[in-house]
Chain A
Amino acid sequence: MAVTSSTRAQPRTLLWLLGTLILVVGLALVSLNVGASRMNLLHLFTQPDDRITQLLFVSRWPRTLALILAGASLAVAGLLLQMMARNRLVEPSMVGTVDAAALGVLLCAIVAPSMALWLKFSVVSLFAVMGTVLFLAVLKRIPLRSALIVPLLGLVLAGVIAAASGLLAHQFELSQALRSWNSGDFSAILRGRYELLWAAAGITVLAMLLADRFTVLGMGKDFATNVGVNYPALLALGVLLVSMIIASVVVIAGALPFIGLIVPNLVRLLTGDNVRRAIPVVALAGSALMLAADLLGRVLIHPYEIPSATLLAIAGSLVFIVILVRGRRQWA
C-alpha cells in the first residue's frame, strides 16, 4: 500500500521537519531553565551541587519531557480524529472525548479515590471511547450537507457531557477538583508522576505507522472497503488509539484543548494538503506548541502560573475563528 511511501518525503517537508525539531530542542532548553527557583542549566557543569541536580531531575526534566510527549500525542490524536470524522474542524476536546474522559476521572475519584494508576487509566480510556463513539454515532445519523454541522454538534455534545459531570461533581462536592481537571497544566509534574505519558507516546508512534491506512479511512467507507481495508476494524482501532491518548493526558495533566485542531491545520497550511507525509512534523509542532504554552504560562505572572489550558484555549479559539472566516465561502 505504501508505494508512494511516507518515508520519501518532499524536500520542503524535510526542511519543516528540521525546523520544528530545532524549535522543540530550543524551547525544551529554555523550559529547563525557567521556574520559580533560580537555576541555570550551565551550573550543572560549572558548579554542580545536590540542589541543582535534584531540581533538574526531579522537577524540570520530567516536566519538559511530559510537555513534549503530551504535545506530540495530542496533535497526532487530533489529526487522527479529523481523518475519522472526515472534517478538519474537529478535535478531541470539541467532540466529547475529553469531557467523557474527565467524567471518567470524576467517577474514579468518587468510587475509589486511591485506585491504581493502570486501573484508572483503563476506566478513563473506556469513558473516552464511549464519548467518541457517541459522537461518531450521532454524526452517522445526519446527512452531511454542511461541514460546519460536525464541529457544532461536537461542541454541544461535549457541553452536555460537561454539564452532566458538573452536576455529579456538585453532588459529591468535587466541583473544584473537576475544574482543575478541566483546565490542564503541568505544574504538578514530578518524577514518577508522568510516566503514563510514555504509553501515549507509544500509541502515537503506532498511529504514525498506520497513517496510510487512516488516510484511506478518511476517504469514506466505500472507497476504503474497495481498496481492501477492513473499515469497521480500522475505525474501531482509530477510536481506541485517540481515546487512549486523550485518557493518558487527562489522567496526568488534565484537559488540554485545541492542540489537535491548531497543529494539523497549521501544518497543512505550511506543507500542503498531504498531511500523511508530514505526520512527524505534526508531532513535533505539537510538542513545540505545548512547550510554548507552558513556558508562557510560567513567565506571564511569575512566580504564579497560568494553566496552559487557558492559553491554549485562547489561541485555539482565535485560530478556529480565523479558519472559519477565511474559508467562509467554502463552508457556506
Chain B
Amino acid sequence: MGLTKRGRWLLSLTAVLALGSVLGFMTLNVHSDWAFIVQYRGTRLLAMLLVALSMGLATVVFQTITHNRILTPSLMGFDVLYVLVHTLALLLWGTEFGKGWPLELRFILEVTVMVSIALLLFRWLFNGSVRGLHMLILLGMVGGLLFRELADLSARVFDPSEFSIQQGSSVANFNRVNLQLLWVGLAAAVFCSGLLFHLRRQLDVLSLGRDVAINLGVPYRKAVTLLMLVIGALLSISTALVGPMLFFGLLVANLAYWITGSHQHRWTLPASVLAAIVCLIGGQVLFEHLLSTRLPLAMVIELCGGVLFIALLLRGVKQ
C-alpha cells in the first residue's frame, strides 16, 4: 500500500525543502575560498545531518514500540542520562589509568554503559508494573531532572573551578559541534539506520501491539531489546554531538506522521529524517543568513516542541 496523493505531495515537498536547506547551508554568503568552506561548513553540516538522522529515527521507533505519539526517548530522560554518564566518565578519564585511551574508545564505552542503563530502565518501566501514559511521562521527566542535577552536582564536586566552562555543554548548541566524534558517530549512525531500514516490516508488525506481533511470529522480547539498543546508541550520538534536546524528537516524529498520514515505517522513517533536516539545517540557514539574527535555534525548537506537547496532551485528555 502506498501513500495517498496528499502524502506523496507533502513528502516530496519536504524532500525538496531538505535538499534546498542543505544546498543553501553550503552556498549562501560564501566570501572565502571553497576549500575552507567545504572544510568548515561541511563538517558542521555532516554533524547536523547525523543529529537529524539519529533523533528522527530513534523517536519514531520508540513511539512504535511504546504505542503512542507523545512519549519520546528524550522525554524519558535518556539523553540527559548520557550527559550524566559522560560527566561521571570524565572522572575516570582524568586518572592515570584512563588517560591514554583514545577518544573513540571512550565514547564507545560511555555509549555501552548508557545503553545498558537505558535498557534496564526500559525493562522496569514497560514490564507492566507501571501503568498509564501520564505516569510514564512524569517518571521520565522527573527522572530526567534528577539525571541533569546529578550531572551538575558531580561536575561541581569534581572540579569546582572548571564547572562554569563545562556547564555550557549541557544545553544543545548547533554552533559548537563536537567534531572529534564525527567519524565514529557517522559509522554508528549509518549502521543503525541500515539495520532499522532492514527491520522496517518487523516494525510495522510491532506497531500493531504486543499480542498481535507475537501472534504473527515476531520474537517480541528479542526484537524490542535490539530496537532499544539501537535507540540508545542513536541518542548517544546525537547528544554527544550537540547536547540534549527535550522536545526536538517529539516535534519531528509528529511532523512525519502528519506529512505521510501513514503508519508504514518505510514512509515514516525517512519522513522523520527529512523533517528533522528541514528543522535543523533549514532553521539554521533561515536564522543565520536570511534573518541574520543570533537567536539560538535549539531554544526556538524547544519552545515550539513544548507548545506542541501541551497541545497533544490536552487533545489526548479531551478524547
Q: For A167, give its contact among B150, B160, B295, B310 (CB under 8 Å).
A: B295
B157 and A306 contacting across the interface, CB-CB below 8 Å: yes
Residue on A nearest B158 in the bound complex, by CB: A301
Q: Answer yes or no: A171 CB below 8 A from chain B CBs.
A: yes
A328 pairs with B157, CB closer than 8 A: no
- In the complex, A324 Cα to B136 Cα: how many Å? 10
Q: Which chain A residues (136-171) contact chain B, with CB distance < 8 Å?
A: 138, 141-143, 145-146, 148-149, 151-153, 155-157, 159-160, 163-164, 166-167, 170-171
Q: How far apart are the CA atoms of A324 and B295 in the complex, in Å? A: 38
Does B222 make an interface contact (CB < 8 A)? Answer: no
Q: Which residues of B contact A304 (CB under 8 A)?
A: 156, 160
With both chains docked as a complex, state the minimum distance between the C-beta of A90 and any C-beta of chain B, in angstroms.
11
* Nearest-neighbor residue (CB-CB) of B164 within chain A: A176
User: What CA separation (Å) do A324 and B306 show in the bound complex?
Assistant: 23
- Given A145-B317, A320-B142, do A332 and B295 touch, yes or no (CB 8 Å)? no
- Known pairs A170-B296, A171-B295, A331-B132; A311 contacts B306 (CB<8 A): no
Q: Is A313 within 8 A of B132, CB to CB? A: no
Minimum Cβ distance to chain B for residue A239 (Å): 21
Quick one: CB contact mask for A184-220 with B, threshold 8 Å, 1 for yes?
A: 0000000000000000000000000000000000000
* Interface pick from B15-23, B33-41, B181-189, B297-305: B297-305
Most B CB atoms within 10 A — which of A141, A151, A156, A170?
A156
Given contacts A317-B143, A324-B135, A332-B131, contact A167 B296 (CB under 8 A): yes
B134–A314 contact, CB under 8 A? Answer: no
By beta carbon, the residue of chain B nearest A319 is: B142
A87 interface residue, CB < 8 Å from B? no
A3 at the interface (CB under 8 A from B): no
Residue from B130, B143, B299, B306 within 8 A of A170 (CB atoms)? B299
Q: How far is the CA of A318 from the CA of B153 in the complex (A)?
A: 15
Residue B10 at the chain A interface, CB threshold 8 Å: no
B150 surroundings in chain A (CB, below 8 A): 314
Is the pair B138, A152 in contact by a Cβ cutoff of 8 Å? Answer: yes
Contact: A148 with B153, CB < 8 Å?
Answer: no
Q: Complex formed: what's the CA distance from A145 to B302 in Å?
A: 28
* Chain B residues within 8 Å of A148, by CB: 132, 134-135, 138
Chain B residues with Cβ under 8 A from A301's Cβ? 156-157, 160
- Do the beta carbons of A160 and B141 come within 8 Å of each other? no
A-facing residues in B124-151 (Cβ within 8 Å) = 129-132, 134-135, 137-139, 141-143, 145-146, 149-150
**B299 close to A163 (CB less than 8 A):** yes
- With both chains docked as a complex, state the minimum distance between the C-beta of B181 and any C-beta of chain A, in angstroms: 25
Whether the pair B317, A142 counts as a contact (CB closer than 8 A) is yes
Chain B residues with Cβ below 8 Å from A300 are: 157
Contact A328 B135 (CB under 8 A): yes
Point out the residues of chain B lying under 8 angstroms from A167, CB to CB. 295-296, 299-300, 303
B134, B160, B296: the one within 8 Å of A149 (CB): B134
Q: Which of A160, A166, A310, A324 contacts B310 (CB 8 A)?
A: A160
Residues of A near B204 (CB, < 8 A) are: none
* Min C-beta distance of A162 to chain B, whole Å: 9
Tell yes or no: A112 within 8 A of B by CB. no
Interface centre among A152, A164, A313 (most CB of B within 10 A): A152
Q: Is B31 an interface residue (CB 8 A)?
A: no
* A42 interface residue (CB < 8 Å to B): no
Given that A146-B134, A328-B130 are contacting pairs, would A163 and B157 also be in contact in the complex, using a CB cutoff of 8 Å? no
A321 CB within 8 Å of chain B: yes
- With both chains docked as a complex, state the minimum distance between the C-beta of B108 and any C-beta of chain A, in angstroms: 29
In the complex, the answer to whether A311 meets B296 with C-beta atoms within 8 Å is no
Contacts of B132 in A (CB 8 A): 146, 148, 331-332
Going nearest first, the 3 A-B pairs with the smallest beta carbon separation are A148-B134, A317-B146, A304-B160
Other A-B pairs, 10, CB within 8 Å; known A148-B132, A332-B131: A146-B317, A151-B138, A156-B306, A159-B306, A170-B295, A170-B296, A317-B145, A321-B143, A332-B132, A332-B135
* Chain A residues with a Cβ under 8 A of chain B: 138, 141-143, 145-146, 148-149, 151-153, 155-157, 159-160, 163-164, 166-167, 170-171, 179, 300-301, 304, 306, 310-311, 313-314, 317-318, 320-321, 324-325, 328, 331-332
| 22 pairs from A and B in contact (CB 8 Å cutoff) | A142-B317, A143-B317, A145-B317, A146-B134, A149-B134, A151-B138, A155-B142, A156-B313, A160-B307, A160-B310, A166-B299, A167-B300, A167-B303, A170-B295, A171-B294, A179-B167, A310-B149, A311-B153, A313-B149, A314-B153, A317-B146, A325-B130
